[in-house]
């Protein structure tokens, strides 16, 4: 008598949210490990000359871990002993998993490009649960080789080790997607409604990028400008009321401008007293938004003569954010579900 064969498990679809990355702690060696991985990425810093190697290992990895650790200390989630970026990315993953809980064939997970959990670990977790198709979701609204592309580089590197590779897709940059623009606009309106003063100017501060990246074909600047143009239109604000600036300038190379802190100081010196700041390039609050903009840049404005400066929180895991992310996922699952 032939024993009936067991039915094959139903293939599943995995969704892997991927954010930039985070150190595991703020101490010197944790920060050094994180910075070494981050700054060794050729997508982030293309130069690998002997001089750069000496500067990187002899100066940057000696001095910067302590400075970066101090910045992280100021915004660290001490209750969970982790960075806010890890907290918010996990919350986004958990909330989206809840959204798809009535579809047992879909599994949602999250990972970091630098630090843990890694993209390779995320792929392993999904394939071990039977996911034969994976939708990668780089959480960067605007595309850059230094962000979205390096996420996919890491995904492809991990998949090189698989004899039975899953079928993959990735979510396109959503810098001009109506649901994203509307979510951003609503977050600004909601935040402004909590203030007991009226902002004269709102600063849209996006992460900077060396100009050399743009001349080589990176579309990041175009994406940033389009995001802010659409956001002005959605909010009914003029170019003077919603300014586009770039933050995190470093090194001697020419970077995209104008620089956020320079603009804030100029505004204050010209009599502007009340401003808000928003970070449309970040899906979640992190050290670049909470410490660099919310603390340092805001203080720069006040030191130059300004009075009130308030940071609009990133979309994080708010209901508006999760609805927007779910909408984008559904669009990208077409034909798979």
For 85, the token pair is 């970026």
Domain ranges of the chain: 12-174+320-332, 178-311
- What CATH number does the domain located at 12-174+320-332 have? 3.40.50.1400
Q: What's residue 275's pLDDT?
A: 98
**One-character DSSP codes across 105-149:** TEEEEEEEEEESSBHHHHHHHHHHTTEEEEEEEE--SS--IIIII
CATH 3.40.50.1400 is right for the domain spanning 178-311? yes
Q: What's residue 9's pLDDT?
A: 63
For 265, the token pair is 């100081």
pTM to 2 decimal places = 0.93
Let me know: does 21 contact 38? Beta carbons within 8 Å: yes
Q: What's residue 51's pLDDT?
A: 76
Distance (Å) of CA 269 to CA 109, 259, 262, 325:
47, 16, 11, 40
- Across the beta sheet with 201-207, the strand order is 242-247, 201-207, 274-278, 308-311
Q: What's residue 284's pLDDT?
A: 98
Let me know: does 302 contact 267? Beta carbons within 8 Å: no
Distance (Å) of CA 231 to CA 13, 305, 318:
33, 28, 19
Among 293, 99, 127, 129, smallest CA distance to 207 is for 293
Mean pLDDT split into 10-residue runs, the chain, 337 residues: 51 96 96 93 83 81 94 97 98 98 95 97 97 98 97 97 96 98 98 98 97 97 98 98 96 93 97 98 97 97 98 98 98 92
Same CATH topology for 12-174+320-332 and 178-311? yes
Longest CA–CA span in the chain (Å) reads 91
């Amino acid at each position: 008598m032939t024993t009936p064969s067991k039915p094959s498990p139903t293939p599943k679809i995995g969704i892997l949210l991927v954010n930039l990355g985070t150190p595991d702690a703020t101490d010197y060696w944790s920060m050094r490990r994180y910075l070494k991985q981050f700054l060794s990425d050729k997508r982030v810093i293309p130069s690998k000359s002997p001089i750069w190697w000496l500067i990187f290992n002899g100066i940057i990895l000696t001095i910067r871990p302590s400075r970066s650790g101090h910045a992280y200390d100021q915004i660290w989630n001490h209750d969970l002993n982790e960075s806010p970026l890890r907290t918010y990315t996990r919350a986004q993953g958990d909330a989206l998993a809840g959204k798809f809980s009535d579809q047992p064939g879909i599994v949602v997970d999250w990972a970091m490009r630098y630090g843990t959990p890694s993209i390779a670990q995320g792929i392993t977790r999904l394939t071990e649960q039977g996911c034969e198709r994976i939708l990668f979701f780089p959480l960067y609204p605007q595309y850059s080789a230094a962000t979205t592309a390096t996420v996919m580089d890491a995904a492809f590197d991990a998949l090189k080790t698989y004899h039975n590779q899953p079928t993959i897709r990735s979510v396109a940059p959503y810098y001009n997607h109506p649901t994203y623009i509307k979510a951003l606009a609503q977050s600004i309106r909601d935040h402004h409604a909590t203030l007991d003063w009226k902002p004269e100017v709102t600063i849209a501060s996006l992460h900077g990028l060396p100009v050399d990246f743009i001349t080589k074909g990176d579309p990041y600047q175009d994406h940033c400008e389009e995001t802010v143009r659409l956001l002005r239109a959605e909010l009914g604000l003029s170019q003077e009321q919603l300014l586009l600036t770039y933050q995190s300038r470093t090194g001697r190379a020419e970077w995209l401008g104008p620089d956020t802190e320079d603009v804030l100081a100029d505004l204050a010196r010209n009599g502007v007293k009340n401003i808000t700041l928003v970070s449309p390039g970040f899906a979640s609050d992190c050290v670049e938004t909470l410490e660099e903009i919310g603390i340092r840049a805001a203080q720069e404005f006040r030191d130059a003569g300004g009075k009130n400066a308030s940071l609009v929180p990133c979309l994080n895991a708010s209901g508006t954010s999760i609805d927007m992310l779910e909408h984008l996922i559904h669009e990208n699952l077409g034909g798979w579900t």
